[in-house]
Amino acid sequence: MMSSTSSSSKREAPTPLGVLEFTSALNGEDPLQILQKLHQFVRVVEYERCLVVTGRSDGGDAIDTSVGDGNAVIGGADDDNNNENEEDDDVSYISFDDDEDDDVDNPSSSSTNKRQKLLQSTTSSTATATPKVKHSWKLDKNNYNVPFVGTSVTKGETGTINRNGTSWPTGFMEVYRRYSPLGVELNKNEFISALPSGGVHKLLCKDDDSGGDGGGVVTDNDDGNDESSGGGGGKRRRKKRGTTTTTTTKSNEGQQSRGKIISITLQTKYWTAVNEWILSFVPIDKLRSQLHWKQIDYYSSSSSTNNNNSKKCALPPQIMTVLIKERLPEWIDAIHKYTARQQYYTQVQQKERKEQRQRQKKQLQLKQQKMSKEEKAMEEKRLQEIEVKNERVQRRLMKQQSREQALLLSALYCLTSLCHLSNGTAREVLRRLSNGSSGGISTTVKDAIPSSAAVGHSGGGGGKFAGKGSPSGTADSGTEWMVQLFQQGNKSSPSTSIKPLVECVRLVCTLLETQDFIVLSRLTEVPSPGWATKRGGGKKDVGNFGIAQIALRYGIQRLLDIVRQSQSGNDDGDDERSVDDDIYAECIARLLRGVNFVILPSSETKNQNVKGGSSKKDNKGGFVLGMGATADLLSGEVLGSLSELSLLAPQFDPTLVSIQDIINGDDVYDDLDSIETAAVEARRILFALLADTRRSPFLRDSSSSFTAEKDDQFTAYLPQLSKSLHSLLSGQGHSVSLKMILGLCLRTTPEITPHFFRSLQLSDPKPNYRSLAALTFVEGVVRDISFPRVKALRDGKMPTTQQILSEIIPNCVTKTLLSKVLQSSCALLTSGGLKLIITLLRRARGVSFDDERGSNMKNSNNAEKDFLRSLQEAVMSHMPELTILLSIPSRFDPFETSSHSNTTIVMLQLCEAFQCYAQINSSLVANAKYDWVKFLPLEESPKRSFLSAEPLLQYRLLRTLHLVSKLDQISFSSKMLPSALSIMTSWSTATPEVYDAARELALSLLEQEIFPHSDNDFEAMSCRKYETSLWVDVISEETIEDLMTMIAEARQQSVQHKMTILQALSMAKLGYDSASSVSSLLSLSISYLMSDTEDSRVSFTKEFEVCLIQIATKMLLFQTNAKHFAALIVYSAGEHSPGDEKAAGLHQVAKALLDDSSDANTHLYALSSNIFHGECLLNCM
């Protein structure tokens, strides 16, 4: 990347210029004197302006001329050939075509040689080598030292610079404007202002007009006065016949005559001087705002512009008339002719490259041919001579391009200065630039493109041109000239200067900052489809694009090309070019800032419009140009370039506050270089376009109503917005800050989601950081997006399942990819895949229906259910098979004491995935042939136990098994219930959440075991749940085996036991009541406990007997009608009371309840005191 402003040279104060000295030189007829004084005028005034604009008040003799000074920003005459420390009468700013030979032979004498050639082109000499005749009357024999009559000896006032920083103009410009208020020497001097070849140029270009290639033609009339044979400005003396001698300087192919070189240089200096003169009428505050563009308050400027539309221009009307009617067409023509000339130079370079390839091919063939050494030497010498000659021609063409470029820059300087004067002047300048016509100046393209190999003088004159050199082949090329400037800049060699593009962007910025509606409309004009056909053009839709649209489209792309060259190391290391690139980047940043604060609305502006205080023209949601025009300006390639340029901006904090600061332009950075400055401005616009519904013309604002046409326009921009998001993704990678802005954009405009998902990419999973980062990033982005909403289409129909599915799952996430991820041996990669599956399934379950649905869906719950069912089936078809998920525990065992934390992460995600699968397709999980008890390993080796896993994982596993246990047609292993009871009753279970989860699982499993066939009666359901909770809470590690034995026994004796219950009820004369029934487990266990028949009794421990009595007592107390259960107890005991004291107490209570005896409470109190100790959990129930 280019360095920041690195040039810090000091500009010395130039030699003072007197006003009489300047005016007399411009009123004279000496081209050299005029050229020198114009050059000195430009240097003096430019120095004074920079001194005032930069605000220096220290009285120093030198000012800093770094990139950011007044000259660089406001547009001074900083041409390539101007050395700041040279003498004022030096002529190094003139570059002759044959200077390269002198520079190579003797660099120190190059300036002297140039002056000699300049004098040779403007003075008289003979055609022979004889010395010039010196007339005796010219000699000052008596040393009077008195000048001739009419010779100016007084320089006049030079002016004093006011260093308070508030007075402008100051110094010499103040004196000159006081001396000549209308600036007749600059504005109305027809001798200087005439276009080639007229006025002063007639003398310099005479030989070219007559068909020769020579320089100027001078005469000597033997009276000592050298006179030019040309004329143009003022009265000329008649030449004497027969006494005139001429001197012509022959030029090689492609070489301009010295006269024409001086002519184009003089015209350049003249236009630059006019530019400085125009700038003297511009207020100092406006000049400083061009320098400190980052501090411009566009909102206050807009209000002041609207309030001061009637403010008159400071330039007198007489001057303005001449500038608009005469100078402005010349400057416009100079631009068009320059673009035509650049096309010619491009063709010449292409031809030269082709010939060079042919020469190289011929040299290669020459080496392979059988020739004598002499013949080879002669052929090689001939090719070398051709190479040297071509290099010389190329250098001359480069110098000629440099001169023509300087003329173009001077024209652009003047146009920019005119735009500073008033909005009306800016409108006229923009109208001329956009129309492409040149106000009646009639020349042809032949003036711009030579028909032969010799390159003629482009000059600055000329008007309409058409033909091969014209972009469109017509006289009215519109703004195509600017497109060509940027395109030629991209195609040119690295040595091509970027200064014309800098001035073009500055001109656009100046026009943009006027904030005039008419100017803004023309600047941002984008032709509608079919524009060319409507205007009578061809089939191709190329219209008159506004120069702001061109500057945005091609200007940002040119800046990106500069960055690419710098990053690839293709730059030549030229410091001057690097400084120019920095200036260009600053201009692009200024352009983007203007677009952000002028074209796009601010929050304040939109709030005012909502309140109803704006006019009808402005009431378009705050958009100055309207939402459609703003969208056309910033869409397409401009939006793509903004995305690419914003990638070069510094990183921002991954918070929503930071993103909002960027959108509002409140983000602050330290030590930004020029490229980063432009990138920051691009990012501010881009984020506003992508995430701010109030400022973006591409997004829907909830407070605005949209018609069908606007809805179609909104839909048409969605692919462009998606492409912009992907551009950010490809440039920034998988950073957290990028994930934040993507999530914000997709939440703000969910309609972008299917377009974004369609182009999202994921490579084949590999166990490396890149794959893991990509997978995690995609999951994070998908998780941050709001759930899809099913909205009715315009015709009232329901969208298809595939349309909603495109908002749930990205196209890159396939079943094959997810299966590969889950089968990876990398724990983090497998965890990332599981997390992505969970996120996708949650999005599928989160689909909701919009309230504003069509009539076919409004009250149709069945239609909604069918739609969701089909959608979930489509989602599950993209998910891996459940067997792949069930194979994960075999590779990542969390129950080993030496297991890694990554294994725990995998199992945690696996539990979540199982739950999502069960919630969407329960039959898929219920029908899985898998022994779920593997998740509760307790009876294996001590090195592998459920209790050795992390408490969080224990909780997740138990919750997952509990969810699965609730599924229909699920069948668990007989080991699942004792495992759950063991976890619940183990002393190692110290986490309350784990205990609660184990208890919930045990309740679910036990209820299914002891109540396999249950009804939906509420009272019976309450009894079932209460009895199940009693069994779970009373059980201990010692009684788990007895419980499981009795469960198996109850399952085997179910038929016989039912007969026993019916007999007991019949004996007690009671009918069957399902609400008062207990489980077969409890009734069979009580019958065994009360029976005195040893053969039929299953042996169980004393602890289990106590548990049975406790549960039976609680159930007698809980049931509404306890006689049914009491009858079973009495019937099981037979005629004799049980031998055990506690069982006998239970028998007495049951018998008293059955007989309705008043002693029931007494027996119950005695029994309770005997069986319920202080630590029994049943005391709380």
Between 235-249, 359-373, 1071-1085, the lowest mean confidence (pLDDT) is in: 235-249
**What's the distance, CA 227 to chain centroid?**
65
If pLDDT is split at 50, 70 and 90, which confidence band does 800 have?
confident
Between 458-462, 580-584, 729-733, the lowest mean confidence (pLDDT) is in: 458-462
pLDDT recorded at residue 50: 86
For 222, residues 6+ apart whose C-beta sits below 8 A from its C-beta are 133, 135, 240, 243
Strand pairing of 62-64 and 10-12?
antiparallel
For 123, residues 6+ apart whose C-beta sits below 8 A from its C-beta are 218, 226
pLDDT recorded at residue 467: 35
**Residue 232, phi-psi category: left (phi > 0), alpha (psi -120 to 50), beta (remainder):** left
Across the chain, mean pLDDT equals 76
Strand pairing of 848-849 and 789-790?
parallel
What share of the chain in percent tops pLDDT 70?
72
Judge whether 252 and 20 are in contact, CB under 8 Å.
Answer: no
What is the distance between the alpha carbons of residues 463 and 441, in angstroms, rounded to a whole number?
A: 5
What is the distance between the alpha carbons of residues 715 and 751, in angstroms, rounded to a whole number?
A: 8
Between 45-59, 240-254, 264-278, the lowest mean confidence (pLDDT) is in: 240-254
For 890, residues 6+ apart whose C-beta sits below 8 A from its C-beta are none
Nearest to 37 by CA among 18, 62, 61: 18
Phi, psi of 1148 (to 5 degrees): -65, -40
Return the SS3 of 64. strand
Judge whether 1152 and 1118 are in contact, CB under 8 Å.
Answer: no
- Check whether 959 has a pLDDT greater than 90: yes
Return the SS3 of 789. strand
For 1130, residues 6+ apart whose C-beta sits below 8 A from its C-beta are 1064, 1068, 1147, 1150, 1151, 1154
What is the distance between the alpha carbons of residues 925 and 772, in angstroms, rounded to a whole number?
A: 28
- b (16+ CB within 10 A) / e for 419-444: bbbbbbbbbbbbebbbbbbbbebebe
Highest mean pLDDT among 112-121, 166-175, 265-274, 378-387: 265-274
> In this predicted model, what pLDDT tens digit does every residue of 644-661 receive, in sequence order?
999 999 999 989 999 999
CA dihedral 462, 465, 471, 472 (to 10 degrees): 150
Between 3-7, 650-654, 1155-1159, the lowest mean confidence (pLDDT) is in: 3-7
Q: In terms of pLDDT, which residue wins out, 57 or 285?
A: 285
- Token pair in block for residue 660: 């909002």
If pLDDT is split at 50, 70 and 90, which confidence band does 240 have?
very low
> In this predicted model, what pLDDT tens digit does every residue of 184-201 receive, in sequence order?
888 888 888 888 777 877
> In this predicted model, what pLDDT tens digit does every residue of 1125-1135 receive, in sequence order?
888 888 888 77
- Token pair in block for residue 1063: 């007999």
If pLDDT is split at 50, 70 and 90, which confidence band does 574 have?
low
pLDDT recorded at residue 779: 92
Nearest to 906 by CA among 918, 917, 915, 894: 894
Cα dist from 3 to 7, 269, 671, 673, 676, whole Å? 10, 32, 11, 7, 11
Nearest to 121 by CA among 187, 206, 18, 234: 206
What is the distance between the alpha carbons of residues 241 and 207, in angstroms, rounded to a whole number?
A: 19
- The predicted model scores a pTM of 0.79
pLDDT recorded at residue 199: 81
Nearest to 262 by CA among 457, 108, 77: 457
Q: In terms of pLDDT, which residue wins out, 714 or 99?
A: 714
pLDDT recorded at residue 232: 38
> In this predicted model, what pLDDT tens digit does every residue of 935-944 receive, in sequence order?
888 765 666 7
Q: In terms of pLDDT, which residue wins out, 55 or 153?
A: 55
If pLDDT is split at 50, 70 and 90, which confidence band does 224 have?
very low
Mean pLDDT to the nearest integer, 388-414 = 87
Mean pLDDT to the nearest integer, 880-906 = 86
Cα dist from 614 to 308, 310, 627, whole Å? 18, 21, 16
- Check whether 358 has a pLDDT greater than 90: no
> In this predicted model, what pLDDT tens digit does every residue of 62-100 receive, in sequence order?
444 443 444 444 555 554 444 444 444 445 566 555 554
Residue 127, number of CB atoms within 10 A of its CB: 9
Mean pLDDT to the nearest integer, 340-357 = 80
What is the distance between the alpha carbons of residues 191 and 213, in angstroms, rounded to a whole number?
A: 23
Highest mean pLDDT among 294-303, 395-404, 792-801: 395-404
What is the distance between the alpha carbons of residues 592 and 1177, in angstroms, rounded to a whole number?
A: 75
Q: In terms of pLDDT, which residue wins out, 659 or 213?
A: 659
Between 187-196, 223-232, 831-840, 1004-1013, the lowest mean confidence (pLDDT) is in: 223-232
Element (H, E) at 12: strand 10-12
Q: In terms of pLDDT, which residue wins out, 569 or 912?
A: 912
Element (H, E) at 568: helix 556-568
Mean pLDDT to the nearest integer, 175-186 = 89
DSSP state of 1133: H
- b (16+ CB within 10 A) / e for 850-874: eeebeeebeeeeeebeebbeebbeb
Cα Rg of the chain (Å, integer): 48
If pLDDT is split at 50, 70 and 90, which confidence band does 365 have?
confident
What is the distance between the alpha carbons of residues 535 and 22, in angstroms, rounded to a whole number?
A: 51
Q: Looking up tokens 């630059």, which residue turns up?
A: 272
Q: Looking up tokens 């482009």, which residue turns up?
A: 458
- Check whether 856 has a pLDDT greater than 70: no
Nearest to 31 by CA among 184, 231, 213: 231
- Check whether 1 has a pLDDT greater than 50: no
pLDDT recorded at residue 958: 92
Mean pLDDT to the nearest integer, 768-778 = 88
pLDDT recorded at residue 381: 81
- Token pair in block for residue 461: 């004159």
Mean pLDDT to the nearest integer, 610-624 = 47
Q: In terms of pLDDT, which residue wins out, 1034 or 215?
A: 1034
- CA atoms within a 13 Å half-sphere pointing along the CA-CB vector of 994: 23
Using alpha carbons only, give the angle 884, 886, 891 rounded to the nearest 5 degrees: 85
- Token pair in block for residue 415: 């146009």
- Amino acid identity for residue 211 in this structure: G
- SS percent in the chain: helix, strand, coil, step 5: 60, 0, 40
Mean pLDDT to the nearest integer, 919-948 = 81
- Token pair in block for residue 564: 């690419």
Return the SS3 of 940. coil
Mean pLDDT to the nearest integer, 719-736 = 88
- Check whether 568 has a pLDDT greater than 60: yes
What is the distance between the alpha carbons of residues 752 and 717, in angstroms, rounded to a whole number?
A: 9
Q: In terms of pLDDT, which residue wins out, 40 or 242?
A: 40
> In this predicted model, what pLDDT tens digit does every residue of 515-565 receive, in sequence order?
899 999 998 888 765 443 333 444 444 457 889 999 999 999 999 999 988
What is the C-alpha end-to-end distance of the chain, expressed in Å? 77
- Check whether 216 has a pLDDT greater than 70: no
Judge whether 876 and 894 are in contact, CB under 8 Å.
Answer: no
* Adjacent-strand bridge partners of 790: 849
pLDDT recorded at residue 1146: 85
Q: In terms of pLDDT, which residue wins out, 216 or 682?
A: 682
Q: Looking up tokens 């609680």, which residue turns up?
A: 1114
> In this predicted model, what pLDDT tens digit does every residue of 116-157 receive, in sequence order?
555 454 443 333 333 444 556 556 666 666 655 555 557 888
- Amino acid identity for residue 1055 in this structure: V
Mean pLDDT to the nearest integer, 1063-1080 = 74
Residue 1109, number of CB atoms within 10 A of its CB: 21
**What's the distance, CA 629 to chain centroid?**
21
Cα dist from 372 to 43, 375, 379, 744, whole Å? 62, 5, 11, 77
- Check whether 248 has a pLDDT greater than 80: no
Between 178-187, 295-304, 976-985, 1032-1041, the lowest mean confidence (pLDDT) is in: 295-304
pLDDT recorded at residue 312: 63
Nearest to 339 by CA among 169, 471, 174: 471
DSSP state of 218: E
Nearest to 916 by CA among 867, 875, 865, 972: 875
Mean pLDDT to the nearest integer, 1143-1162 = 83
Mean pLDDT to the nearest integer, 243-254 = 38
pLDDT recorded at residue 917: 93
If pLDDT is split at 50, 70 and 90, which confidence band does 311 have?
low
- CA atoms within a 13 Å half-sphere pointing along the CA-CB vector of 938: 19
